[in-house]
Chain A
């Protein structure tokens, strides 16, 4: 088994997803099943193979790196109840 309970909790923490004790075993079982499935990739010789890319980006095709002002603050704040004036509110961060 590749993913033990401790690893489940570690990746849950990295993913910022709270996992209850009750669901931990099921998640562990599913993740191990997926890992077992993708382990097939270990069978291939990848020596000298480049990582995939879609080809070179043509620098002339990129848009100018210029500042644009988006000031529809109201539109953006419409999507939250957690606001104070023009700001989002979150739990206290600094003591």
Chain B
């Protein structure tokens, strides 16, 4: 390979070269291993599985070109640390799961291995996926490969899937898995110039993914481009008897849907999303996308989602409530961290000390607030009320999707911010990051972040497309059309190797 390095290619282009036997899976895997070894400054990979990767690559090389070849044969991927992988240390970036080795594999990762993908290792993230900057990880924050043109500050890669977004942007893997509870795939994608897709709730099985807020959590891909997103989503999707909320409906061939004309597509612009930031870079990027869509014959329709301003408060009642219940299992008895006890300590002290020492500050904060809103006397005022407001937010979307096919919004209010600059005095300041992404999780809808270009600081910024349930093909095709015109190149200057 000349000029373009092997590791810049992504999933589809690597697949094509592998199929033509111009490269081998072992060669490709070794190229990524080298990049990962040189990337310690980014802190993206927290567990490397190179021995496993090279065995998988060698197998792939024997299979390529035969009838046994599957869709991701020989494609090296990174896996967010929230996915349990059999015999691979999995901690959700938390001390409380210290040295936890799952005796089972998550459904989504198993599907990827069934398609003969290669596992390079586990990716850093916010502890239990609670955070928007990667700063709550017990491994320390991931550093965004992108830097502002006017400063050398280390920037956040976004969160919680910040290891995934940074690894894809820095060419440490062809693509990566992420999970998205309130924006944890899309916000990191926007901050790193990558494509992040949160599928419809129920599209991917949640089995074996360490639970944060079960009625919101959804797995999805972070990739270099839209085609790769389509390829990876197909491999990750499908009904699973082990997750009763996974949908028993067919998985389309998303890649086949790409390239269709979008003339006549009705694109909704929600006034509640656009005007909040007035004349910001995020709005300017949105306008660029609007212009392209108009040129392609799409019809732009102004719509209203009147309960948008209640989305974040609703989320910060419901998600912590679910988290407080899900995280009750970490008691120090059966796995993970156990606090050192004094001689006379009881079982209660075992629980309380273990959880106090094992969980980080943000996770404890969310467990406490979740416990509060579920506690006697407050349940109706907070939890039940929020569940009703969640219905109103979903109804808003149902009404809008009678008028339009897709909704276009900014993904994030700003581009990536410096580590340590947000939320240190006021936790709510960090929560505001998810202002545009949370509504899709509340309504269970699929949403995709697509890089539009660089802002005035030279940092990538994305737009978000939100679709109706199961409309991933339309989301991906619209994004594909936009991507072709935008021709955004994700090539942060390599300062880390």
| Interface, chain A (partner B; CB < 8 A) | 3, 7-8, 10-12, 14-20, 27, 30-31, 33-35, 37-44, 46, 49-52, 54, 57-58, 61-63, 72, 75-76, 78-82, 88, 90-93
Contacts and interface: CB of A to CB of B under 8 A. Distances in A.
B201 A54 contact: yes
Interface string B310-345: 101110110000001000100101111010010001
- Which of A75, A81, A91 is the most central at the interface, judged by chain B CB atoms within 10 Å of its CB? A91
B427 A30 contact: yes
B385 A79 contact: no
Nearest to A14: B371
A89 B390 CA distance: 43
A15 B324 contact: yes
Contacts of B334: 76, 79-80, 88
Contacts of B201: 54
B101 to A, nearest CB: 6
A8 B215 CA distance: 27
Contacts of B390: 51-52
Contacts of A16: 328, 331, 348, 351-352, 355
B316 A37 contact: yes
Nearest to B318: A52
A90 B333 contact: yes
Given A54-B201, A76-B103, A27 B368 contact: yes
B367 interface: yes
Contact of A42 (B352, B353, B385, B442): B385
Interface string B361-378: 000110111011101000
A15 B348 CA distance: 11
Describe A's contact surface by its main secondary structure.
loop
Contacts of A12: 368
Given A16-B331, A44-B310, A49 B350 contact: no
Given A57-B244, A91-B346, A40 B313 contact: yes
12 contacts: A27-B365, A33-B426, A34-B427, A37-B428, A38-B373, A46-B392, A50-B388, A51-B390, A54-B201, A57-B244, A61-B244, A75-B103
B248 interface: yes
A84 B367 CA distance: 32
B220 to A, nearest CB: 18
B386 interface: yes
Closest 6 CB pairs of A and B: A79-B335, A75-B103, A52-B390, A51-B387, A18-B352, A18-B356
Contacts of A75: 103
B446 interface: no
Contacts of A93: 346-347
Contact of B316 (A17, A38, A80, A90): A38
A14 B371 CA distance: 7
Contact of B428 (A27, A34, A52): A34
Interface string B135-162: 0000000000000000000000000000
Nearest to A20: B356
Contacts of B59: none
B86 to A, nearest CB: 9
A17 B394 contact: no
Given A16-B351, A37-B313, A79-B99, 18 more contacts: A15-B367, A16-B355, A17-B352, A18-B349, A18-B352, A31-B365, A31-B368, A37-B428, A38-B382, A39-B313, A40-B309, A40-B310, A41-B386, A46-B389, A49-B389, A57-B244, A78-B103, A79-B103
